[in-house]
A and B are shown apart, each in its own frame.
Chain A
Amino acid sequence: MSDVQILTGNQAAAYAVKLCKVQVISAYPITPSTPVTETISQWVERGELKAEYIRVESEHSVMTVCISASTVGARTFTSTSSHGLLYMHEQLHWAAGSRLPIVLACVNRGVGAPWSIFNDQQDSIAQRDTGWIQIYCRDNQEILDSLIQAYRIAEQVYCPVMVCYDGFILSHTMMPVAIPDADKVCRFLPPYKPHTILAPEDPRNINPVIFPWQRRDAEGVLRGGYMDLRWKLQHALEGARDVIVETNRDYAELFGRDCGGMLWTYRTADAEVLLTSMGSLATEATVAVDLLREQGIRAGLVGIRVYRPFPRAEVREAFAKVPAIVVFEKDISYGYEGALCSDIKASLYGTGNQAPIHNFIVGLGGRDVKAGELTEAVRSSLAAIASGEKEKQTWLNCMTE
């Protein structure tokens, strides 16, 4: 059966890659993701994992190698953080447009300038428009489970998947992680069948220039223009919701662990205020929920697991009747507000729910966030709401003068 070990988040990620029998790994070091591929390189060099391991010279090349290897049919993986993810931004767009089932572990870290090596989620949130599926992990077990699920989702919908987890907070702390049986994982994960054809037997030109308009090919078949192909990506991402939910359900049946599908909830049934967040911050927020409940406030938490495709339907259902919403996030869309807050607001548009939504920007560049601070933040929001403030953006525990 499964074997429980005490693992860091990075080690858990590496084990998932081994279990999924990934064939091509391309890697570049960046704190705090480096140990993932260091662990994998040990296995590859000792012959415990049969894979091509390419020690590329930059993250731009990391994603390029994943793209071309995936195009010819190999299952690929990489891990990165912060500036590494930013450096491959162009290639993230290219991978999604190419409809390749690449899986990337993003170990969330703040971005410069100035330099931060510590955790926040600006790096992956800033990639939300690229066409990648994004999953955020609560704990080290979920890192392993979500990465395995990611391959099945990616290879079914032909979209790349980014599995995100908080740098240092999860990547470097140790938790018990059940490592599933390798044969069971093989059964869960069918082999990858590429839709791309790159072979001498059937020569094609892949991803050339494309016109804005539709155009007939030499056989007279009408083929799409740029916008038509891009609609297919959007359509696939929207349809991925069902695949994500079903994959999580199948995984839960086979392995006994449920990651929550699109989102998960904690003590939301009778809530007078709902907190919402992603990743380990959401885990911390469950402690805040318990503290608030002890103080007589009926708080609940909605943990967003899948950020893209955004769980609009699930959010509408979870927040349907709640009179107050507090969004905690480790990112900011400069010049406006937190990205998650905007997306929550947009999801509730047209539902009739006029609840005040308060936004707390927390923990940027690794600033510590304690459950007690989250509790106080909710209390101050409720007070502000009571005096009529429907919208508010607060940077928690920060010099704002």
Chain B
Amino acid sequence: MEQEKDDNLSAMCKPAAGEAGNTGDWRDATPVIDLTKCIASVKNRPACYLCWLYCPEGIVTAGVPIEIDLAYCKGCGICAEECPARAITMVMHEEGKP
């Protein structure tokens, strides 16, 4: 076993992303955004952003256009379900492929 010095007397953690690794690996479907339907892109200004609101992971950037951080997206599909313009589709991965 490696003998580096751990100065913690008890278990104290520091905040960092990726505690569970790249959780993008979890998903079996990936959100794909149709910018011709997304209200913020259509209006070319900040608008709607329900995907940003309802994403449990907080990995939707509310910009123009919106962006989803696919390294961490778990593929829950809430954004697709809640989008009022049906601009997001959960595309199933091919069997055996990430």
Q: Do chains A and B touch in the complex (CB under 8 A)?
A: yes
Write the residues of chain A forming the contact surface with B, with a CB cutoff of 8 angstroms.
97-99, 158, 195-197, 203-208, 210, 214, 217-219, 221-224, 228-229, 232, 236
Chain B's nearest CB lies how many Å from the CB of A208?
Answer: 6
CA distance A195 to B9 in the complex (A): 7
The answer on a CB contact under 8 Å between A206 and B12 is: yes
Chain B's nearest CB lies how many Å from the CB of A192?
Answer: 14
The answer on a CB contact under 8 Å between B13 and A208 is: yes
The answer on a CB contact under 8 Å between A232 and B9 is: yes
Q: In the complex, which residues 1-60 of chain B have their Cβ closer than 8 Å to any Cβ of chain A? A: 1-2, 4, 6, 8-18
CA distance A210 to B11 in the complex (A): 8
Q: Which of the residues A207, A210, A218 comes within 8 Å of B14, measured between beta carbons?
A: A218
The answer on a CB contact under 8 Å between B12 and A229 is: no
Contact flag A204-B12 (CB < 8 Å), given A214-B2, A221-B4, A222-B2 = yes
The answer on a CB contact under 8 Å between B14 and A204 is: yes
Chain B's nearest CB lies how many Å from the CB of A255?
Answer: 30
The answer on a CB contact under 8 Å between B6 and A222 is: yes
Q: Which of the residues A195, A217, A218, A222 comes within 8 Å of B10, measured between beta carbons?
A: A195
CA distance A165 to B13 in the complex (A): 38
Cβ–Cβ < 8 Å partners of A98 in chain B: 10
Chain A's nearest CB lies how many Å from the CB of B86?
Answer: 38
CA distance A96 to B2 in the complex (A): 26
Cβ–Cβ < 8 Å partners of A204 in chain B: 12-14
Cβ–Cβ < 8 Å partners of A197 in chain B: 12
The answer on a CB contact under 8 Å between B6 and A228 is: yes
Q: Number of residue pairs across A and B with beta carbons under 8 Å?
A: 51
Residue of B nearest to A210 (CB): B11
The answer on a CB contact under 8 Å between B4 and A207 is: no
Cβ–Cβ < 8 Å partners of A221 in chain B: 4, 6
Q: Which of the residues B1, B8, B11, B16 comes within 8 Å of A214, measured between beta carbons?
A: B1
Q: Which of the residues B6, B10, B13, B14 comes within 8 Å of A97, measured between beta carbons?
A: B10
The answer on a CB contact under 8 Å between B2 and A229 is: no
CA distance A217 to B6 in the complex (A): 11
CA distance A229 to B8 in the complex (A): 8
Cβ–Cβ < 8 Å partners of B11 in chain A: 206-208, 210, 229
Chain B interface residue count, CB cutoff 8 Å, equals: 15
CA distance A221 to B4 in the complex (A): 8
In the complex, the 9 A-B pairs of residues with the closest C-beta atoms, listed nearest first: A218-B16, A205-B13, A222-B4, A99-B9, A99-B10, A204-B12, A224-B6, A195-B9, A223-B6
Cβ–Cβ < 8 Å partners of B14 in chain A: 204, 217-219
Cβ–Cβ < 8 Å partners of A219 in chain B: 14
CA distance A195 to B6 in the complex (A): 13
CA distance A195 to B8 in the complex (A): 8
Chain A's nearest CB lies how many Å from the CB of B7?
Answer: 9
| 21 A-B pairs whose Cβ atoms sit less than 8 Å apart in the complex | A98-B10, A99-B9, A195-B9, A196-B10, A196-B12, A197-B12, A204-B12, A205-B12, A205-B15, A206-B13, A207-B11, A214-B1, A214-B2, A217-B13, A217-B16, A219-B14, A223-B6, A223-B8, A224-B6, A224-B8, A232-B9
Contact flag A206-B15 (CB < 8 Å), given A214-B1, A222-B4 = no
Cβ–Cβ < 8 Å partners of A229 in chain B: 8, 10-11
CA distance A222 to B2 in the complex (A): 8
CA distance A221 to B11 in the complex (A): 14
Q: A197-B12, A206-B12, A221-B4 are in contact. List 19 more A-B contacts (CB 8 A).
A: A98-B10, A99-B10, A195-B10, A196-B10, A203-B15, A204-B14, A205-B13, A206-B11, A208-B11, A208-B13, A210-B11, A214-B1, A214-B2, A217-B13, A218-B18, A221-B6, A222-B4, A224-B6, A224-B8
Cβ–Cβ < 8 Å partners of B15 in chain A: 203, 205
CA distance A218 to B9 in the complex (A): 19
CA distance A158 to B6 in the complex (A): 16
Chain B's nearest CB lies how many Å from the CB of A218?
Answer: 3
CA distance A158 to B12 in the complex (A): 15
CA distance A356 to B16 in the complex (A): 60
CA distance A228 to B9 in the complex (A): 10
Cβ–Cβ < 8 Å partners of A196 in chain B: 10, 12
Chain B's nearest CB lies how many Å from the CB of A120?
Answer: 33
Cβ–Cβ < 8 Å partners of A205 in chain B: 12-13, 15
Chain A's nearest CB lies how many Å from the CB of B20?
Answer: 12
